[in-house]
Amino acid sequence: MNKSSALVGIVSGLFGAGSVYILKSKDTISNEAVSKSLEANSNILNPKIRLSENKLKNYETAVKKSKELVKRFKDEIGVPGLVIGVSVDGNTVWEEGFGFANLETRTPCNVNTAMRIASISKPITMTLLAKLYEEKKVDLDRSVHDYVPYFPKKKIDDEEVDITIRQLASHTAGVRHYKKKGEKKDKGNRDSGKEFYYKQEVNTIEKSVEMFKDDELLFKPGTSFEYTTHGYTLLSAVIENVGKKPFTFQIEEFFKSLTLKNTYLDRIPKIIYERSSYYDKNENGRLVNAKLADTSYKWAGGGFVSTVGDLLKFGNVMLYSYQQRESDKPGYLKSETVKEMWTPVENTIMKWGKNSGYGLGWTVVPEMDEIGGVNENQQFYVGHSGGAVGASSVLIIVPDKGTNTNENIMRTIPKGIVVAILVNLENVSCRNLGKNVADEFNKLM
């Protein structure tokens, strides 16, 4: 038995026959073994460097502990199906499906199961906008009216106010979410009423903007923070204007440019292979099929479908761009651009960690030293969660601690951890699970 076969055997024995763990090193792994791994519910594929036996055992331990965290989460919440993926230093080290993609047909989740990613669409859209910013086609501090003439001027207390692109991207523009100013949340409604469950197809971005363009701002732009998906619809109108092509075309070309082969616009009629069914719970806590909803009115802020594999790839594109040095091959974005995206904007507040805020398309948790010798140091990381009709998600990126030190000069990038989780159940918070899994792998760094 060669060393590669031994490694496969060791880990297959640890996790059971249904979980195939493949470590590709300089030793040859047969095409048959790789093919079988892709058909299984879980796999570990293609690290670029050979790992020591000790390092391999550490990965085995991290995966084992993370599997237990996932199982507890799934059981406690009653999640029908869940898919998780983890990459370390740009290499996918764990992907696995749990439960069912379709309860009625008993189709299991696997690593290729596609689900709505909801608001993780926002950092993806922001990345496309950031590219246009680097190409000097858009100025983040210019008025949205310079790019979208059909969006009306706004007033606060009879004073005309302006809205910048940066304010839209950071949710500080005052544009509403699903509720108009003064409207109260419906009793028993866990999200935002009728708009969240909108069923009609919307064929153009301009028609999407019509849903909210005449509504009052919630506050004077730049003075407060209010999360808004409609704000990202307005950003997609900006992208249309400066890119001179429909947003749907530009974003699909963006998917192709990053080889996100399993990421799509969430079109109901489109055949998307291995697309999950979506679920909710009724007033008695019983699982039911989720309501029908069409997300075409909010492509940019919550209208994409993807897999954990594609989300890991996207996360590593961002991580590489963030960490690149002059000696490296260019990333999709410049390092200074990503640093700007990953810096909290003034007046933004998130509940992901102490002093966490929102940058440009990303939640940002700053690095902080321990206080009073009780709490562990808070490590810098970024991410985004998502909540859609019948689905929930999270994407977390934890750059290696040495990113901004002299230690980074000679290292191969990207360095850090990316975690992606997709769940086919509405109204589920995946953030803590994602961070806890990231912490397990971060112990190995």
CA angle 424, 426, 430 (to 5 degrees): 75
Q: Can you give the length of the chain in residues?
A: 445
**What are the tokens at 350?**
């998130």
119 catalytic per annotation = yes
185/259 Cα distance (integer angstroms): 40
**Count of beta carbons in the 10 Å neighbourhood of residue 283:** 6
Q: And the tokens for 352? A: 């992901």
Closest to 423 (Cα-Cα) out of 414, 413, 433: 433
Catalytic, out of 119, 356, 385, 392:
119
Residue 240: how many CB atoms within 10 A of its CB?
20
Q: Is the dihedral of CA 366, 370, 372, 375 positive or negative?
A: positive
Euclidean distance between CA atoms 226 and 174, whole angstroms:
7
Q: Give the pairing type, strands 287-289 and 107-108.
A: unpaired
Residues 6 or more apart whose CB falls under 8 angstroms from that of 18 comprise: 40, 41, 42
Residue burial 329-363, b: 16+ Cβ < 10 Å; e: rest: eebbbbbebbebbbebbebbebebbeebbbbbbbb
Cα–Cα distances (Å) from 11 to 38, 42, 64, 71, 95, in that order, read 16, 12, 10, 19, 14
Beta bridge partners of 143: 164
Nearest to 362 by CA among 86, 115, 130: 130
CA–CA separation, 322 and 123 (whole Å): 14
Please state the three-class secondary structure of 329-390 as a single string.
Answer: CCCCCCHHHHHHHCCCCCCCCCCCCCCCEECCCCEEECCECCCCCCCCCECCEEEEEEEECC
Helical segments of 218-368, H only: 230-243, 247-257, 299-302, 308-323, 335-341
CA 353 – CA 169 distance, rounded (Å)? 21
SS3 438: helix
Which residues are catalytically annotated? 119
